[in-house]
Structure 1
């Protein structure tokens, strides 16, 4: 490789869904509708939790954090995708690109931790109900949430710094709808083995412990539920954790589809489609799942709606 072909990029080109040029306008309006739904759904969760005392519990405290996280990272990726599709504006500065990548790693780390803490909350609620208010006290919940956000802020820094200092071999086209790590690494002509090793370390330090803790929590939860004699009691106990279990399943399955494929199946076009599961589907489904499966939340929404209709009338 000749030296003059090795450059430090000042901007990149995000291709988006260039494979469907005739569908750019419909795709844009679809993602605009999805983005507005994500904002409305997650803001509703946050507002309802603040307004209704019945929802001011550890479970909804963590879910509010999750809703805020969903709003923040979709606001980093989806507006640029809309810009690419609607205005054909593919350019993104190197700083903007690395910021997107940073937010993606940040959001994945924080979501793993928050979902694990919510699993622990459900474990205490079902397996240690008499000590629930003592164990899951407000101070502990706040410290757990702050710890998640701090870790999420710090962890991606090394990845971002290393990738931002890579050299690139001419091409600046990112075959994705945001600045994904895999797409950036494919553009680099620098040896990326160090970054690959760091990614595996991240999986060992964050993903594996979170998965094992969540799995262990639900083993104890299911065992406790099965020991309940009445079917009505089992149904009520399971209903308290079914929403979180559904969210966890969607989250882990989407990331497994994205990163646990055999090398022979690795494809940027395929990764781009699967990445929609995490970047779009999960933030869209989270408030829907909790709204459908939690009676207190549905009652809070209905109460606020009735107050609004009365005041309007």
Structure 2
């Protein structure tokens, strides 16, 4: 959704505030939470493997909890659409930034000016989205592989090595949610200002110091 917001900002700069209203932003955030919660709560409501009846002790392992059908459903209903949209939006952003940069360069040659601030801003936004896409892929592709493979193997977690690899892989995937605000906060002035406002709203004393 953030990549889509950046795409609108670059491709429709004059209409951005008409398209991306606060209400529109709230609806997009709500959709992400509702859809993500729907996908991940399905095992709680029954789409999962049950505890073995003859098990003396049973450790609930994330990958083994999934039915094979649910693992593939999660893959094609969650990861694949998100990753595909990120790649498509990145390509569109790159093409738009490339066209804009060429237009600005052409205008600079015609007017003999050397200002290229808009072009730098366009390219920085594209690079930010590229970083987001790369981090997303690095964090989640190993998890997708473990989930899909682990759901097919009854004794996937009996190996200590695989067990701890699985734990670290899931930890990396979850950390992706913490990386995105840091990336945008470091590379985007608007996000940095928004984060400051949020912090100041919780700790008003920080705004006075």
Same fold by TM-score, threshold 0.5 exceeded?
Answer: yes
Structure 1 residues 298, 183: closer, same or farther in 2, change over 3 A? same
Contact 1:225 1:238 in 2 (8 A): yes
Determine if the alignment matches structure 1 residue 160 to structure 2 residue 44: yes
The SS at the match of 1:156 is helix
The SS at the match of 1:167 is coil
Alpha-carbon deviation of 1:122? 1.3
Structure 1 residues 149, 254: closer, same or farther in 2, change over 3 A? same
Alpha-carbon deviation of 1:222? 0.1
Structure 1 residues 257, 156: closer, same or farther in 2, change over 3 A? closer
Distance in 1 (CA, whole Å) between partners of 2:11 and 2:117 is: 17
Equivalent residue number for residue 180 of structure 2: 286
TM-score, with normalisation over the residues of structure 1?
0.48
Total equivalences in the alignment: 179
Q: Please, which of 168, 171, 177 is the counterpart of residue 276 of structure 1?
A: 171
Q: Please, which of 46, 49, 62 is the counterpart of residue 181 of structure 1?
A: 62
Determine if the alignment matches structure 1 residue 120 to structure 2 residue 1: no
Structure 1 residues 158, 126: closer, same or farther in 2, change over 3 A? same
1:1-313 matches, within 5 Å, as 117-162=1-46, 166-168=50-52, 169-172=54-57, 174=59, 180-184=61-65, 195-227=67-99, 228-229=101-102, 230=105, 232-260=117-145, 263=149, 267-279=162-174, 281-298=175-192, 301=196, 311=208
Contact 1:242 1:293 in 2 (8 A): no
Contact 1:183 1:268 in 2 (8 A): no
Distance in 1 (CA, whole Å) between partners of 2:21 and 2:206 is: 36
| Alignment deviations for residues 70-94 of structure 1 (CA, whole Å, 9 cap, x no partner) | xxxxxxxxxxxxxxxxxxxxxxxxx
Structure 1 residues 172, 164: closer, same or farther in 2, change over 3 A? farther
Structure 1 residues 308, 244: closer, same or farther in 2, change over 3 A? farther
RMSD over aligned Cα atoms? 3.4
Contact 2:75 2:144 in 1 (8 A): no
Structure 1 residues 263, 203: closer, same or farther in 2, change over 3 A? closer
Where does the alignment leave 5 or more consecutive residues of structure 1 unmatched?
Answer: 1-116, 186-194
Where does the alignment leave 5 or more consecutive residues of structure 2 unmatched?
Answer: 106-115, 151-155, 157-161
Distance in 1 (CA, whole Å) between partners of 2:72 and 2:25 is: 29
Equivalent residue number for residue 43 of structure 1: none
Bigger relative contact order, structure 1 or 2 (CA pairs below 8 A, ≥6 apart): 1
